[in-house]
Amino acid sequence: MPETLVKPKSKLRWLDYRWQLSNRARSAPALRQLIDLLETNGYGSHRFPAFKDEVFAEADRRFRFAVTPYYLSLSSGEAQCPIWRQILPDERETNDTLFTQMDPLAEESHMPVRGLTHRYPDRALWYVTHSCAVYCRFCMRKRKVSQSSSAPRQSDRQQALDYIRAHPEIQEVILSGGDPLLLPDHELADLLEELRRIPSLISIRIHTRIPVVLPMRVDRSLCKSLADFYPLTMVTHFNHAREITDLSRLAVERLRRSGIQVLNQSVLLKGINDSLAVQRELLLGLMGMGVQPYYLHALDEVQGVSHFKTDLRLGTEIIAGLRGTIPGHAIPRYMVDLTGGGGKVSLEPSSVIEETADALVFKNYQGRNFLRLKQES
């Protein structure tokens, strides 16, 4: 990260994802420079929230800070800005006594080879890069992400491919990281080509936050390359409606027109998206841009993130409140990934409020009760 930021000479430079990556802020001083750069070039007015330099320094030793100029430009001066809260280091990260585990989902203990998690019989998650365009403070993989020591080696990739080939029960591979879309086009294409040659695989997923934090990366060249590996599913990660912009819409449109299914999973975060109104706006915005809501996750219990925690039942209440008020296919499933490596389970509201020997009593979205016989005579 250059300490003296390069000013974009034109709108075209702003739309160059390489410029965006090379001009990320990675420290408190660089963040101040980036804010000045945005204001000078007319990308909005961004009041800098109060923070302590030592908080950045201490947090950086545990989990790096980085933000793209584009994603920072979505921020506002409000005290509880959902963009600021997702990216700014917080002193509570280094003093978390509630969440104490670095790998609460036990990914490492389910790794038969380095970088490949095989927990469920029919699928495997493949960690293909340690890099992200923006480092989210609530990251569930901060023990690895941003750490150069966790970068996959060529030998790791070969062992992962060999393992997948040797286990035909694996029908789906999920490319994750880090962010797979930060790999060069040719490198990502090589991985996909190797996977497509494995006859037991019927599904390939790419998990990415690039359409949210660096949508200009989704250019025609990338989409042309990805189109060669149809069918593909991409799961992105919008947490708030403010992240839906003209550029993110364009990125999704390019993906969809390339034959790629685009899903979204978000995390329920205290003070960011933990209300029915914010979730409704997000989900309708996603549907309007061609993204299918998929999962709403309870926060994973990773050390340093408990200040984002909501009541576990809140997600259930939000899902119940969405029913009957937005299209049914716009409502995600509320999921909890069990600490200890138990995998994902659904925690959703039930419409059944009473059961007798002969009937079930249901409550509909209006709160009215209806009886339905178990067996119609």
Residues paired with 369 in a beta bridge = 363
Q: Which of 14-23, 101-110, 268-277, 362-371 has the lowest mean pLDDT?
A: 362-371
Angstrom distance (rounded) from CA 167 to CA 103: 25
Quick check: is 183 in a domain? yes
Residue 325 and residue 246 share a domain: yes
Catalytic residue among 71, 85, 137, 139: 139
Q: Is 114 a catalytic residue?
A: no
Residue 141 and residue 16 share a domain: no
Quick check: is 5 in a domain? no
Q: How many CB atoms lie within 10 A of CB 281?
A: 16
Q: Which of 104-118, 177-191, 338-352 has the lowest mean pLDDT?
A: 338-352
What is the per-residue pLDDT for 362?
A: 84
Residue 357 and residue 239 share a domain: no
Q: List the domain range (segments joined by +) for residue 365.
A: 348-377
Catalytic residue among 24, 132, 144, 242: 132
Quick check: is 272 in a domain? yes
Tell which of 94, 120, 137 closes a domain: 94
Q: Is 300 a catalytic residue?
A: yes
What is the per-residue pLDDT for 377?
A: 57
Gyration radius from the chain CA atoms: 22
- pLDDT, one tens digit per residue, over 131-189 is 999 999 999 998 888 888 888 899 999 999 999 999 999 999 999 999 999 999 999 99
- What CATH code is carried by the domain that includes residue 191? 3.20.20.70
Quick check: is 99 in a domain? no
Angstrom distance (rounded) from CA 182 to CA 68: 13
Q: Is 123 a catalytic residue?
A: yes
Q: Is 137 a catalytic residue?
A: no
- This prediction has a pTM of 0.92
Residue 377 and residue 282 share a domain: no
Number of structural domains in the chain? 3
Reported confidence tier of residue 2, pLDDT bands at 50, 70, 90: very low
| Model confidence at 266: pLDDT above 60 | yes
Quick check: is 17 in a domain? yes
Tell which of 71, 94, 117 closes a domain: 94
Q: Is 242 a catalytic residue?
A: no
Q: Can you tell me the mean pLDDT for 206-211?
A: 98
Residue 361 and residue 334 share a domain: no
Catalytic residue among 137, 141, 217, 309: 141
Residue 251 and residue 149 share a domain: yes
Angstrom distance (rounded) from CA 3 to CA 272: 30
Q: Is 344 a catalytic residue?
A: yes
Catalytic residue among 64, 114, 123, 333: 123
Indicate the DSSP class of residue 195: H
Q: Can you tell me the mean pLDDT for 346-366?
A: 83
- pLDDT, one tens digit per residue, over 5-52 is 565 656 668 999 999 999 999 999 999 889 888 888 877 666 666 777
Residue 358 and residue 287 share a domain: no
Catalytic residue among 62, 119, 196, 333: 119
Quick check: is 101 in a domain? no
- pLDDT, one tens digit per residue, over 325-341 is 999 999 999 999 999 99
Residue 174 and residue 90 share a domain: no
Strands 369-373 and 343-346: unpaired
Angstrom distance (rounded) from CA 239 to CA 82: 9
Q: Which of the pair, 18 or 375, is modelled with greater confidence?
A: 18
Angstrom distance (rounded) from CA 71 to CA 377: 60
Quick check: is 102 in a domain? no
Quick check: is 37 in a domain? yes
Residue 124 and residue 29 share a domain: no
Residue 153 and residue 167 share a domain: yes
Residue 166 and residue 239 share a domain: yes
| Model confidence at 1: pLDDT above 60 | no
Q: Can you tell me the mean pLDDT for 260-273?
A: 98
- For the chain, the average pLDDT equals 91
Residue 362 and residue 257 share a domain: no
Task: Give percent above pLDDT 70 in the chain.
Answer: 95
